[in-house]
A and B are shown apart, each in its own frame.
Chain A
Amino acid sequence: MRRFPSCIGFVVVLLLSTGACLDELRFYLRSEPKTFNPAVVADDASETIRYLTGGVLLRLNRQTQRVEPELAQAWKISRDGRTITFQLRSGIYFSDGTPFSALDVKYTMEQLMDPALHSPTGDAFRSGSGRVDTLVYSPEKIAVTFPHPVAGVERLFDQVAIVSARSPKKEAAVLGPFYVGDYKPGAYVYLRKNPNYWKRDEAGHSLPYLDAVKLEIQANRDIEMLRFSRNEVHLINSMDADYFDRLSRIAPGKARDAGPSLDSEQMWFNQYPGAPLPAYKLEWFQSRNFRRAISQAIHRDDLCRVVYGGHASPALGPVSPANRFWFDAQLKPVAFNQQEALKLLQEDGFQLSKGVLHDHGGHPVEFSIVTNSGNRSREKMATMIQSDLRSLGITANVVTLDFASLIQRISEDFNYEAALLGLVNVELDPNAQMNVWLSSSEEHQWNPKQKSPSTVWEAEIDRLMRAQASALDDRIRKRYFDQVQEIVADQVPFIYLVNKNALVGISPLVQGVSPVAVRPQTYWNIERVKLAAEKASNGN
């Protein structure tokens, strides 16, 4: 009789140990997800959940940067560029068992284009006024027709997670590798393996290999680093160079530099005519020679080496070399040359006397550079730029502001002189930068909301951006966009400083991760990621 309780104990221990052997990948979300509805995703945390749970018709392979078939096994774009026809896979089911068909694609597109929903994903498809129509030919074939041609339309479907038209679970029924199993606000989002996921590996095993993904919500990077170094979390999707260097020292095998990312850091001068700035300063900032001189006076190599510990490269223009197709290889790096910079300034009537640069009106050249407080890399860059410009007799005052005040100043009051900020590029396609380059746009930072282009070169950029957006051949589009990049390099509305490298942390417990420069850097191939036995690599 004594054996009975011990048998129960053994079974309990066995069950517990089986539970502990679940292949559960853990990493951090740095903020609370704002939504689980894939159509209205606008923040990083929600985007992570959409990527891990959403099934899409086409997927951009983050490594090859090419579009690949997913739920659609084939697709065709019409000659006029307005219609894309998908041939869907058959025999696919949502996570709750509801079958997938063309009706779900139709329903998803209708949801996305519903003006009442204000879907950011849907906005990308709006090429002009008019309706987006869908035509279901059969349960496996559907055509989507846009009112105007949409350049690079197939890439946009990478963001469109298909939602079931019939499932009572609505958005909770998914076609991706995982589904949301549990959510505790402020603590974690628990994703479980989708039992109905359609993909199999070469050996015929069902994917994904992982049983679950636990996304813990934590904004504090110090805690993330500590728990990562103890193997309590398995991935860090992006980290600053300081943290990367620390990680490289304490656990060299875990820190991985995936090369230049799409993100850039840049500085620009306020050229807005209505800005509350003295007329002479506005004149400096609107001068091409002045902007070029400042650009040449900044030692970008030092920024990369000192601020980013070598994990960055001098930026050449609006597109990072990581964006293989759209990067203009003809662009030349801006050489650090303070003599040349001084010559350019002298052409505009600036004079250096007693170590202070004066303009033709005798005003000493002094301006402020605003950046967001708390971002140590930007603060360091601003201080280094301040030091570089001092050699030219220019006084640059570094002002750090909280983010809300900064955005208020650069987007609403225009009460600033120069700003130093970064641009996070998620998309490879130049259409995603339309809002930056069109002179009428609110995001045209140096001089936004122009009724008509105020300079000839901005008018030319407008023309080229519109031309590339309406061309259907990618080679023709590239030719137009290359010209945009060359104009930007010549006129320097943005002084591009550095392209940061994609720095990630990967636990040795994780197998199959191949970090890339494009987001999501570490888990883009989540289906093929495995966890090794914990004992094997506890020693970092």
Chain B
Amino acid sequence: MKGMRRVAMGLASLLILFSMVAGLLSRFDYMRQDRMCIDARPSPEHWLGTDALGRDRFSRLVHGTRVSLMLAPAAAGLSTLLAFALGAAPGFLGKFHERIARTFIDLVLSMPWLFLLLMVRTLLPLNISPKASVAVTFLMLGLLGWGVPARILLARARRLRQSEFVLFARCTGVSRCRLLGIHLMPNLWPVMLAQFLIAVPVFILAEANLSLLGLGVAEPLPSLGSLLRELETILSVRGDLCSFSALAVLVLIVSSLQIVASQSEVH
């Protein structure tokens, strides 16, 4: 299992490295349209072929991976932190805080987010650059995606609050801040990591769906989510395996991260 973890970590690092040096790896600008060479098969010039507008698929894949790998973990980190602050901390502090937090989380989870997102789109100016648009999208996901992890963390924190070692610590006069720092955080860390890793692919896919509301990654900037949109109809099933490259990268990233996470939880 240790070997598998090493392989997964190596693969994840390689993918992250691969996306970080996207500019060096790709020979073409990701937005350059070669209109005489649309939907081309892989060739020495275009390693993964070209898309429907004649853009180099490899270049778009590396840049798209970079956009998604930079922003999805940041958004997942933000939502996990919020989940800790609004779920775990009140759950650990006592029944009163827990009840207020639970009510608030239920309220947040029951809100019609679609309409809220539509409202956000209305408030945003139309003329924002693709980079600003993608940053706003992931910020929104981070700010709104903490409800479910908060509930899970709250339940775990409550169990910790009632555990004997915490009771003992409190009896010996350990302060609340110290309890949070020394007892709660280390015990919640595996759950938080798992929630973080679950959120990364969820946010990548959510970003693709948000483009329906005009909030996703705007053209011509690629992201894994926008590349995955190519696969949404039956038209993608045409034996052109290169159109599945974004899916393959996503699967590799998610599975490597999951293996790393599950191993670290065991240890």
Contact = CB atoms under 8 A, between A and B. Distances in A.
Bind each other: yes
A265 interface: no
Given A246-B235, A373-B212, A397 B220 contact: no
Given A306-B35, A366-B127, A380-B53, A399 B214 contact: yes
B54 interface: yes
A383 B235 contact: no
Nearest to A368: B126
A405 B213 CA distance: 9
- In terms of DSSP, what is the predominant structure of the interface of chain A? helix
Contacts of B35: 299, 302, 305-306, 384
- Between A382, A383, A399, A400, the greatest number of chain B beta carbons within 10 A of the residue's beta carbon is seen for A399
B213 A401 contact: yes
B219 A383 contact: yes
Interface in B131-162: none
A399 B126 contact: yes
Contact of A400 (B118, B128, B211, B235): B211
Interface string A375-401: 000011011101100000000011111
A437 to B, nearest CB: 27
Interface string A253-295: 0000000000000000000000000000000000000000000
Contacts, number: 76
Interface in B200-242: 211-214, 218-220, 233-235, 238
A393 to B, nearest CB: 15
A242 B53 CA distance: 13
B121 A225 contact: no
Contact of A417 (B127, B219, B220): B127
B13 interface: no
A397 B234 contact: no
B85 interface: no
B234 A225 contact: yes
A374 interface: yes
Interface in A400-456: 400-402, 405, 415-417
Given A302-B35, A417-B126, A417-B127, A401 B214 contact: yes
- Between B118, B128, B219, B233, the greatest number of chain A beta carbons within 10 A of the residue's beta carbon is seen for B219
A243 interface: yes
Nearest to B210: A373
A370 B126 contact: yes
B128 A397 contact: yes
B62 to A, nearest CB: 19
B186 to A, nearest CB: 45
A222 B235 CA distance: 8
Given A306-B35, A382-B219, A387-B31, A397 B52 contact: no
A152 to B, nearest CB: 40
Contacts of A306: 35, 38, 52-54
Interface residues of B, number: 26
Given A246-B238, A379-B219, A373 B128 contact: no
Contact of B53 (A246, A383, A405, A416): A383
B190 interface: no
Nearest to A374: B212
Contacts of A225: 234
A226 interface: yes
B130 interface: yes
A246 B130 CA distance: 31
A81 B235 CA distance: 52
B126 A397 contact: yes
A38 to B, nearest CB: 35
Contacts of B121: 401, 405
B26 interface: no
Interface in B164-215: 211-214
Interface string A33-59: 000000000000000000000000000
B214 A397 contact: no
Given A405-B122, A415-B126, A417-B126, 7 more contacts: A221-B233, A367-B127, A370-B126, A370-B214, A386-B220, A397-B130, A400-B214
Interface of A: 221-222, 225-226, 242-243, 246, 249, 299, 302, 305-306, 366-368, 370, 373-374, 379-380, 382-384, 386-387, 397-402, 405, 415-417
27 contacts: A242-B233, A246-B234, A299-B35, A306-B35, A306-B54, A368-B127, A373-B212, A373-B213, A374-B212, A379-B219, A380-B53, A382-B219, A383-B53, A383-B219, A383-B220, A386-B219, A397-B128, A397-B129, A398-B219, A399-B214, A401-B214, A402-B212, A402-B213, A402-B214, A405-B121, A417-B126, A417-B127
Interface of B: 31, 33, 35, 38, 52-54, 118, 121-122, 126-130, 211-214, 218-220, 233-235, 238
